[in-house]
Chain A
Amino acid sequence: MEDYNNEDSATQNGTPNSIHLPLALLAIAFAIFLFSQISSLGQNGRSMRWQTENLDRQIGSLVESEKNLGNLIKQREALVQQSQQVQARYTEMLTDLINLADTDADARAVVDKYKIQRQQNQQAAPAPSATPQATP
């Protein structure tokens, strides 16, 4: 019994130290590891917040550009409509001229001079390279 007590007291005196020391070391090592990871996460977080701010600014700029382009398109709509009317009117006239050129030599001469021809979509148009020369 006395021997047992002696052995027990030895365990009480020796074991805690032998267990707590490696535990403490492990915990400290783990804490250091976690601290480094948290530090890294913190840096990443700051970087992402900075990116978020930049992206916010970029979105603002894009929205502004989008708005400006939309306004520009709207402003030009009247001019575009007018251009379409002009083009349609001339296309109609040039188509009639091409049709007339089949039977009329003067019309043929003008068609040839300006290289007016039907395009694939059946619209008459002068050749882009044609240089108009006004006849007095």
Chain B
Amino acid sequence: MPIKLISTAAGSLAILLSLWFLVSNWSNQSLARGLQSQQDEIQAHQLTIQNQQQQLQAQQQLIDSASQLANQVGPSVIRDLATLQVQNKNQKIATLLKKYGIEAKSN
């Protein structure tokens, strides 16, 4: 009689645990799907950030290039042209400079 009772109790426990196992399994599968979705989202954000960084880099290159041109090379070229125009009375260079609003005068 006690063995019968133990057998029934153990069987019932096994059935309950089976149900619990199934529920836990479904819950974990749902969590795994959620994780996958989050990882996809992170990948998409990382891609966007990578694009933005490339865009920033391109902007910086353009700014640096223009800055170098406007602050270093450009003024030097214009100064040289102006000097040559004044020294040699070069009308072609004068016309070129005038086209860009620059007028060189001898001191």
> A: which residues have CB within 8 A of B?
16-17, 20-21, 23-24, 27-28, 30-31, 34-35, 37-38, 41-42, 44-45, 48-49, 51-52, 55-56, 58-59, 62-63, 65-66, 69-70, 72-73, 76, 79-80, 82-84, 86-87, 89-90, 93-94, 96-97, 100, 103-104, 106-107, 109-110, 113-114, 116, 125-126, 130, 132-136
Contact = CB atoms under 8 A, between A and B. Distances in A.
Given A76-B59, A106-B88, A66 B76 contact: no
B103 interface: no
Contacts of A87: 62, 65-66, 69
Contacts of B90: 104, 106
Contacts of B28: 41, 44-45, 48
Contact of B3 (A20, A35, A110, A134): A20
A31 B31 contact: no
A136 B80 CA distance: 8
Given A27-B7, A31-B10, A34-B20, 11 more contacts: A24-B3, A41-B24, A45-B28, A58-B42, A66-B45, A73-B56, A83-B66, A83-B67, A86-B70, A96-B96, A96-B99
A127 B96 CA distance: 21
A20 B48 CA distance: 65
Nearest to B18: A34
Contacts, number: 175
Contact of B92 (A21, A30, A59, A103): A103
A129 to B, nearest CB: 11
Nearest to A91: B69
A42 to B, nearest CB: 7
Given A35-B17, A110-B84, A16 B4 contact: yes
Contacts of B39: 55
A69 B52 contact: yes
A111 B73 CA distance: 12
Contacts of B21: 34, 37-38, 41
Contact of B73 (A42, A66, A106, A130): A130
By Cβ-Cβ distance, the 10 closest A-B pairs, closest first, are A27-B10, A83-B66, A132-B76, A24-B7, A34-B17, A62-B45, A69-B52, A20-B7, A55-B38, A48-B31
